[in-house]
Structure 1
Amino acid sequence: MDIKGILAITDHTLLRPTSSWDEIKEILDDAMNFGCASACIPASYVEEAVYYVDNELPICTVIGFPNGYDTAETKVFAAENALENGASEIDMVINLGWVKDGLFDCVEEEISMVREAVMDRVLKVIIESSELTEKEIIRLCEVVTDSGADFIKTSTGFASGGASFDVVALMKKHVGEGVGIKAAGGISSFADAVKFVELGAPRLGTSRLVKRAIAGDFS
């Protein structure tokens, strides 16, 4: 896959807590200029961003981010509010405590509730794979598939680790048909991006690839 193709499946991302509107606008401009899949930004900027891009770029936002321990009802409200403000895609963080307690039915119910709220928009489910065992990742592949989500996503980028080749390969083996994989967290080179795609991730999340493209660094 060439550079243009990689950027076309990239959610150009800015989720730093101190992100300003000027920085968000820069992200939006760059994402439009490079033909990215979306710009992933904080929910508080979605309404302004949708107006700013004027239908030229899908706007993605996050809920339950980055820790995932909001109640299911809070996540549903946040998803509905983001959609009302014009978001096209929602990346939600699961409740990792429930995973550690073995409450996978609760995890699935929560995702299904958000799925219903999101309706026909794209829903990606962040499982924070660096904090999980292989067995937990495999079980979550099944849960995300059964919940009707569009993507399973590796990481928030705010935990102890990000996307890894091994985890994406594991997800590809166990996720159900029709569910995509979004590799996110720590993807800093086009070479790594290509590898993630080859392993089965049709969507990437990163803040660095567009910056590399702007600098003319395509390594």
Structure 2
Amino acid sequence: MTNTTTIPTYRGRTYEDIAGAIDHSLLRPELTLAEVEAGCAIAARYRTVSVCCRPVDVTFAHGLLTGTDVAIGTVVSFPHGNSTTAVKVAETAEAVANGATEIDVVLSIGLLRSGEFQRVQDDIAAVVAAADGHLVKVILENAYLSDAEKVSACHLVESAGADYVKTSTGFAPSGATLDDLRLMRASVGPQMKVKAAGGVRTLDAMIDVLDVGCSRNGTIATAVILDDFVARAR
């Protein structure tokens, strides 16, 4: 007699599918070190793919999560994207030296909207080079862009050699929408990945973004999403 084990699923997704697509967000400016520590503990307990923490917390988070499978991500030129390229490069290099393996950098929004496409691409490419082979996700901040600008941004990010296009910082007037995610997915090649961020805080919303082609979702609602999965999966 053969023993078979059924892996619980909800809407066709396993726990690993969901947890493995969550970047647990620790970016609010008022977080204390105790709250950062508690957030890292949540990421480890729920087995998220990463935490995305403030640059000042990278070394601390790296120490807390050593020995787990949780990657350390951080942000560069956050949340406005207005740093010079040299500053973005320095931020990236320092983050990597401190233990970050994923970089979420904000695109130069004003330059993009001004049509300075080569400057935008060169800026991203410099961050990619400074990341030295580590993942680079480029935040477009879609709340401020037209659909045509979103498409242009996707093309520039891909040409610059980054790994992901990402919807938003979570600090703009709006976050991820399914329409934007579909547009971004259609505007990059299959080797590029898409990350949602901002407002995706329930299990069903999480699966919705995965279903339109996202590979990651940045959220503070990790426990809510994954506890709900455990309750509903069969």
> Could you say which TM-score interval applies, normalised by the shorter chain?
over 0.9
Q: What percentage of residue pairs aligned between the two structures are identical?
A: 32
1:198-217 deviation per Cα after TM superposition (whole angstroms, max 9, x unaligned): 10101111111324435777
Gaps of 5+ in 2: 1-12
Q: Is 2:138 the counterpart of 1:128? A: no
Q: Which residue of 2 aligns with 1:53?
A: 65
SS of equivalent residue, structure 1 residue 60: strand
Cα separation, 1, equivalents of 2:129 and 2:34: 33
Whether the 8 Å CA contact 1:142–1:176 is kept in 2: the answer is no
Higher Cα Rg, which structure: 2
1:128-150 deviation per Cα after TM superposition (whole angstroms, max 9, x unaligned): 01110000011111101101101
Q: Which residue of 2 aligns with 1:28?
A: 40
Aligned counterpart in structure 2 of residue 70 of structure 1, from 64, 83, 92: 83
Whether the 8 Å CA contact 1:152–1:181 is kept in 2: the answer is yes
Q: Which residue of 1 aligns with 2:130?
A: 117
Residue 91 of structure 1 deviates from its aligned partner by: 0.2
Residue 4 of structure 1 deviates from its aligned partner by: 3.7
SS of equivalent residue, structure 1 residue 120: coil
After superposition, the CA RMSD in angstroms is 1.5
Q: Which residue of 2 aligns with 1:166?
A: 179
Whether the 8 Å CA contact 1:212–1:218 is kept in 2: the answer is no
Residue 51 of structure 1 deviates from its aligned partner by: 1.2
Q: Is 2:103 the counterpart of 1:90? A: yes
Q: Which residue of 1 aligns with 2:8?
A: none
Whether the 8 Å CA contact 2:202–2:224 is kept in 1: the answer is no
Instruction: Report how many aligned residue pairs link the two structures.
Output: 219
Gaps of 5+ in 1: none
Cα separation, 2, equivalents of 1:41 and 1:96: 22
Q: Which residue of 1 aligns with 2:212?
A: 199
TM-score (norm 1): 0.96
Cα separation, 2, equivalents of 1:75 and 1:217: 42
Runs of 4+ aligned residues of structure 1 deviating over 3 Å after TM superposition are 211-219
Cα separation, 1, equivalents of 2:213 and 2:130: 28
Q: Is 2:108 the counterpart of 1:107? A: no
SS of equivalent residue, structure 1 residue 149: coil
Q: Which residue of 1 aligns with 2:56?
A: 44
